[in-house]
Structure 1
Amino acid sequence: MLADKASYVGIWVIGVLFACVVAFPGLKLGDIVATLGIGSIAVGFAFQDIVKNFLAGIILLVEEPFRIGDEISVNGYNGVIQSINIRTTHIRSYQGEKVLLPNADVFTDAVMVQTGYDARRTDLGVGVDYNTPLPVAKDILFDTIRSVEGVLADPEPEIDLVNFGDSSIDFIVRYWTKPQQKNVRQAQTKAILGIKKALDQADISIPYPIRTLYYFNQDKYDDYMPEQNGNQVSEQVHN
């Protein structure tokens, strides 16, 4: 713990000062303090980052914006908090990597605590064919997502129509799960499998983008044709 290490360092400093006074009777404590005062400026510049991270670590432990075991996202790093030390906060990424973040960065930057609340929402996009009866599709999506394992009944799932897409009418399926990343991933996989199966059984297609290409005779509309021929072509086109 950070507090234990801080106490350990403090005891060592006091012990060294006491040993100096005992070993050198002619050396007064005031002289030692004065010497430390002169050297503290240079030491301060040399160790300002260490001191900054140390103080930030103390504030993090006192305020507790997150705790050991919470899942956070900061500076593009995502993972589970393992410990908060004198200089760094240790997190274990979802890929199993150990990430050391300076306490000052964690303290000053925006931190997303993904496990800060009891539930976490996922927004899943689903597109259906333009010929689909929308009320029917909405009911199917709602019944399906409500029955998915890992999806919470409270807050209740919501189905929103959000967009007229190029090839589909788009829904957003909003549902809540436990906040841990593992629960979010597993529920999303089950939701996608369940929604695809339910729409297939109802003969509702999930369209893929369609692009229509038009071909024309380039020779017929050649910009370098003689003017007379070009006028003839133009007349033919208008006729």
Structure 2
Amino acid sequence: MDINKILDKGAELMTTYGLKVIGAIVIWIIGSWVIKKLMKAVSNVMTKKNYDESLQKFLLNLVSWGLKILLIISILGILGIPTASFAAILAAAGLAIGLALQGSLANFAGGVLLMIFKPIKIGDFIEAQGEMGVVKEIEIFTTKINTVDNRLVIIPNGILSNGNIINYTAEDKRRVDLIAGVSYDADIKQTKDVLMKILTDNPLVLKDPAPTVNVTELADSSVNFNVRPWTKTEDYWTVYFEVVESMKLELDKAGIEIPYPHSVEIQKQG
């Protein structure tokens, strides 16, 4: 083959497609830069308008992917690929992929439901799907939580939105439920007075709703009292541990016995 024809053909191809490829690369670089700046501007607007942090991240992910898809379609048009045909192919492929990825679509729908109904938000302490932890991030398909022992758990949004969610921090007040068991020989009124004083003396226990102490069970070896102080949600564990410790100390001080199993040791005689 004549070398001149090869060079002419190469020049023709470069003229026809080279500029388009260069243009596509330039559009990709500029488009990516514009998307980055646009996403930053959208994020700033959401922050100023006090959008929920979970909603911000979810919408930013969604908008970012949408803009990138539009940029790719535009670049394909610049390269001379008919976008109408591409759209038809994309629709057919989308249908096939949708059937193959029903679980992913369910997770996407679950993420949308979580954003609309807001049963949880970033920073909430929740229990769901057998896990307990603080919500770290709500993404398009999954939600990430940090457990109390600092494990990262990733839960698909589909099963999260369709399952039971216990949100321990949704309300600003919580009741601490404790049980104190004392001997049958103990005076009930004295015991109630001691337990109630523990609650009223604790500055983190709320006066409204008022704390309660009630006999709840006559068990096999003890009379059990329900001890129920109310506190701010953020003070829950502090009150829990302080009241448990105080119950032991104050009941001992009042001479009120807390029953426990006694073991009998048999010693051999020498």
**What TM-score range do you get, normalising by the shorter chain?**
0.7 to 0.9
Shift of residue 210, structure 1, vs aligned partner: 6.1
Among 178, 198, 203, which residue is 2:232 paired with?
Answer: 178
Distance 2:70 2:241 in 1: 58
| Residue 118 (structure 1) aligns with | 172
Shift of residue 211, structure 1, vs aligned partner: 9.0
| Residue 132 (structure 1) aligns with | 186
What are the Cα deviations for residues 87-121 of structure 1, in whole angstroms up to 9, with x where unaligned?
21111111111111111122111101101111111
Paired amino acid for 2:240: Q
Among 55, 59, 72, which residue is 1:16 paired with?
Answer: 72
Distance 1:211 1:131 in 2: 20
TM-score by length of 2: 0.72
Paired amino acid for 1:153: K
Task: Extract unaligned runs of 5+ from structure 1.
Answer: 213-239
| Residue 223 (structure 1) aligns with | none
Paired amino acid for 1:204: I
Distance 1:194 1:158 in 2: 16
Distance 2:113 2:67 in 1: 21
Structure number with higher helix proportion: 2
What are the Cα deviations for residues 21-42 of structure 1, in whole angstroms up to 9, with x where unaligned?
2222xx5433222222322222
| Residue 218 (structure 1) aligns with | none
Among 189, 210, 217, which residue is 2:241 paired with?
Answer: 189
CA RMSD of aligned residues (A): 1.9
What are the Cα deviations for residues 132-155 of structure 1, in whole angstroms up to 9, with x where unaligned?
111111111111122124222221
Distance 1:186 1:34 in 2: 61
Report matched runs for 1:54-133 at 5 Å. 54-133=108-187
Percent sequence identity is 30
Task: Extract unaligned runs of 5+ from structure 2.
Answer: 1-56, 265-270
| Residue 201 (structure 1) aligns with | 253
Distance 2:73 2:200 in 1: 68
CA contact (8 A) 1:160 1:173 kept: yes
More moved, 163-172 vs 149-158:
149-158
- Indicate the SS of the match to 2:256: coil
Say whether residues 1:5 and 2:61 are aligned partners: yes
TM-score by length of 1: 0.80
Distance 1:38 1:96 in 2: 43
